Amino acid sequence: MRHTNLAIISIALSVLLFFPPAAESVSITQDCPEDSAALTPAPLEEEWAIEWWMPRHEDKLVEEGRETADVLFLGDSITHGWETSGKSVADDYFSDFSIYNIGFSGDRTENVLWRFNHGEIDGINPELAVLMIGTNNTGHRQDSPECTTRGIEMILQKLDEHLPDTEVLMLAIFPRGQSPDDELRQINSEINQQIKSLADGKRVHFIDINSVFLDEDGSLPEGIMPDELHPNESGYKLWAEAMLPSIREILEQ
């Protein structure tokens, strides 16, 4: 089956890509005003999120096991989904380490920055943070790739300040839209090209596992992401198989 073969290939590629040649990280500041929404910490205040977003934040501040978690999962609904659609996959693949998951549905870069400023990464010391964020900057506002990249850079800087002993595995933003020429997918692809430069190959590592989700022609199968954005259980399994070697390599150092 094509997706199984791609998953195997991706695992090998992820190991090859895991430690790129060391390079100085590059600041992405051009073409993004400092007062951009993507850079201005704020809670998520969309009408559909009002009832649950702040309670989830408050619950995460006191979640049992957060202080001793080995791995921090950080992102938006796709990361949040490890607690729902991907829960059984996480139980199967990630049972060797403990996880503190602060993925929040709907989040953009500014929402992550706000949560950092309000305690979500205080009092923890994970060995690894797994980060993927930015597709809602693209989907909600069509932010420029430069502004989303700058927002991600600010998240990395906050992680460095608050969690200096934690390594970061930064994932390329997943593909979205049915076809390669989808406008929003193209924006995400440009962000991915830019955020590579934020990885130094020492503390911050970058991997792109996006090929495991796609058919040969670059289309996104309904059987992997039914809404052309969020993985289903099969998609989470592909993700886990592709990412796990990199997680293990860091944790076993």
Q: CATH no. for residue 210?
A: 3.40.50.1110
> Are the C-beta atoms of 170 and 198 separated by less than 8 Å?
yes
Decide if pLDDT at 5 tops 90: no
Decide if pLDDT at 208 tops 60: yes
Q: Which has more pLDDT, 17 or 250?
A: 250
**Residue ranges making up the domain that contains 127:** 2-251
Q: Tell me, what's the pLDDT at 30?
A: 62
Q: What is the mean pLDDT of the chain?
A: 91
Q: Tell me, what's the pLDDT at 11?
A: 43
How many domains does the chain contain in total?
1
Beta-bridged to residue 206, according to DSSP, are: 170
Q: Which helix (H) or strand (E) holds 177?
A: none
**CA torsion, points 39, 40, 42, 48, in degrees to nearest 10?**
-60
How much of the chain exceeds pLDDT 70, in percent? Answer: 88
| Nearest Cα residue to 228 out of 182, 191, 172 | 182
Across 176-198, average pLDDT: 97
Across 175-194, average pLDDT: 97
What's the pLDDT tens digit per position in 223-239? Answer: 999 999 999 999 999 99
| Calpha distance 46→54 (Å, rounded) | 11
Residue 203: Cβ within 10 Å count: 15
13 CB-near residues (< 8 Å, 6+ apart): 209, 211
| Nearest Cα residue to 173 out of 153, 148, 154 | 148
What's the pLDDT tens digit per position in 70-117? Answer: 999 999 999 999 999 999 999 999 999 999 999 999 999 999 999 999
Decide if pLDDT at 246 tops 90: yes
Decide if pLDDT at 19 tops 80: no
Q: Which has more pLDDT, 30 or 221?
A: 221
